Amino acid sequence: MKTLLEIFKQKVQEALVAGFGAELADTDPLVTPSTNPKFGDYQSNVALSLPKKLKQSPRAIAETIVANLNVADICDTVEIAGAGFINFSLKPSYLANLLSEIQTDERLGVEQVQPATRVIVDFSSPNIAKEMHVGHLRSTIIGDSIARILEFRGYDVLRLNHVGDWGTQFGMLIAYLREAYPEALTTADALDIGDLVSLYKKAKVRFDEDAEFKETARQEVVKLQAGAEDSRHAWQLLCDQSRREFQVIYDILDIKITERGESFYNPFLPEILTILEEKKLLEEDAGAKCVFLEGFTNKDGEPLPLIVQKTDGGFNYATTDLAALKYRIQEDDVERIVYVTDAGQANHFAAVFQVARKAGILPEKIDVVHVPFGLVLGEDGKKLKTRSGETVKLKDLLDEAVTEATRDLKDRLEQENRAESIEFINQVGQVIGISAVKYADLSQNRITDYKFSYDKMLALKGNTAPYLLYAYVRTQGISRKGNIDFSQLQGDKIVLEEAAELILVKHLLKLGEVIQEVERDLLPNRLCQYLFELSQKFNQFFENCPVLQAEEPQRTSRLILADVSARTLKLGLSLLGIEVLERM
């Protein structure tokens, strides 16, 4: 069904045409939800934008619009305020009808897009032979949520994991392992992933300081690229081991993703150079082949290049990204590509997109967008590190979150003198711990850095996962206490009289608007804020409006409100990748 925002926009557009003629049919009606309840539920400022065109005062324009509005079945009142603001207040009976509609709709009134075009969400992207660390947390969680929301809206979403599985780092590692642990190049899991990481760091030091080793590593890359059997076998072993380690994290976080790493695009790299040469974009600079960019300069004001082939003949990340773009557009047949990486890569993607447009690789009709995010900081406001100064491993961070959540749960059960099984405690601790980490990340505006605090994210009060989960648990408590099967409720007559009821139902009806906002702007924190406010409004309703003790028809009406609130919370949390609990 249409959102209330869409309905009011349509009504105002129709009134504009009726009052002033068809030439205003494409005028933006400038309808928004009211920021203050005293101004009603929705408002239109369109009258203030038309005086010059219509040669009338804003107030006169607003009066003509109101005279031609067909909203008698929707609104209690339509008022003109100030210079010409039009304020709309919804009828309780209309709200009751809409509540009845969404109660019987498994999608809670949220429409699907037509047609179902294909979208790629490129996220997570760890490096082979390295452990996933806290820096991968945001890309993985934000990317998964964006993919879930787009899938729910009806898009054909291809979730891609552009892992770092190719290039110089493998030459370094393989060259070092041939000397130190040759069995690791022929035998699966001969070394733990942590040992591989440690050996990679040693290989990097050798590469930077030892010219002879650097040349050996470069030759290993050449052998790997040429398809030498022993090099390919060693590379495959390292990739397979890393994939298994990554999958442990993805299983914990409930992430579904398709790996298509840098190596996948390796055969297509020479073609990128050919295209750039044909378009006369390629230039040589200090022995490297590159494309000079518009709007990118160094401190001296000189144009900066995007290097696509290094002096040694090797290709760069930019070349791979251009090849990936070409493949995704031509072979995957996408209309939108979303890249979820840290804010530090913003210039890189801007440069790649610019070159791709100039080269004809990226048509104007294809929407490409970089979704940047900030850092995860410690409570001291500095980049999150271990006590020894190392980057925090993602697996360790998640394990600690579950441990902390389980400890909090045990303390609370003891204070409440509640006896629960070990299975219950472990399961609830796991869900709360992982949910808390996800929600703490997603509830922030992704563009900013945020401070990581177990205490804050596990709190039962405030904008946290436990607070939202508890609101859902409250709805299920109503069902259990009253022995109510929500799915069997029939609201022949829904009655909305109390302020808390009206406030709650108006908020429930904004779900579709919020999801469309996130679809457009790719900011999951807006859905988090909606769900937090929903939890607050449900708790206020719960405390002010008796449900099971109410007389009919209020009792059924309030049970339906509780049911729709529960389903909205469950749906919204699922779009964030968060599982609900029936009891806490």
Per-residue confidence (pLDDT) for residue 550, from 0 to 100: 95
Q: Any alpha helices (H) in 181-297, and if so which ranges?
A: 193-209, 211-226, 229-253, 269-278
Q: Helices 92-103 and 499-508 sit at what angle, rounded to 10 degrees?
A: 50
Cα angle 318-323-325, degrees, rounded to a multiple of 5: 95
Whole-number Cα distances in Å, 191 to 126, 199, 581: 19, 10, 39
d(CA 427, CA 355): 50
4-90 architecture in CATH? Answer: 2-Layer Sandwich (3.30)
> Which pLDDT tens digit goes with each residue over 574-584?
999 999 999 99
pLDDT of residue 580: 98
- By CB atoms closer than 10 A (0-12, 13-18, 19+), residue 106 is exposed
CB 47 within 8 A of CB 65: yes
Measured distance CA(173)–CA(335) in Å, rounded: 38
Give pLDDT tens digits for 208-222: 999 999 999 988 988
pLDDT digits (tens, 9 = 90+) for 285-344: 888 999 999 988 888 888 889 999 988 788 889 999 999 999 999 999 999 999 999 999
Q: Which of 338, 555, 352 is nearest to 446 (CA)?
A: 338
How distant, in Å, are the alpha carbons of 372, 379, 519 from that of 448? 9, 15, 20
CB 338 within 8 A of CB 371: yes
Buried (b) or exposed (e) across 130-162, using 16+ Cβ within 10 A? bbbbbbbbbbbbbbbbbbbbbbbbbbbbbbbbb
Domain boundaries for CATH 3.30.1360.70 within the chain: 4-90
Say which amino acid occupies 60: A
What per-residue confidence (pLDDT) applies to 413? 95
- How far apart, in Å, are the Cα atoms of 393 and each of 142, 437, 495? 18, 14, 53
Q: What would the two tokens of residue 23 be?
A: 């030439």
In the predicted model, what is the mean pLDDT of the chain? 94
Cβ neighbours for 264, distance < 8 A, ≥ 6 positions apart = none
pLDDT digit string, tens, across residues 412-471:
999 999 999 999 999 999 999 999 999 999 999 999 999 999 999 999 999 999 999 999
218 vs 199: CA distance, rounded Å = 17
pLDDT score for 406: 97
**What are the structure tokens assigned to 10, written together?**
């349509």
148-179 pLDDT, tens digit per residue, is: 999 999 999 999 999 999 888 888 999 999 99
Euclidean distance between CA atoms 436 and 457, whole angstroms? 5
Segment 236-285, tens digit of pLDDT:
998 999 999 999 999 999 999 999 999 999 999 999 999 999 999 999 98
The DSSP 8-state label assigned to residue 420 in this structure reads -
Which band of pLDDT confidence, cut at 50, 70 and 90, is reported for residue 491? low
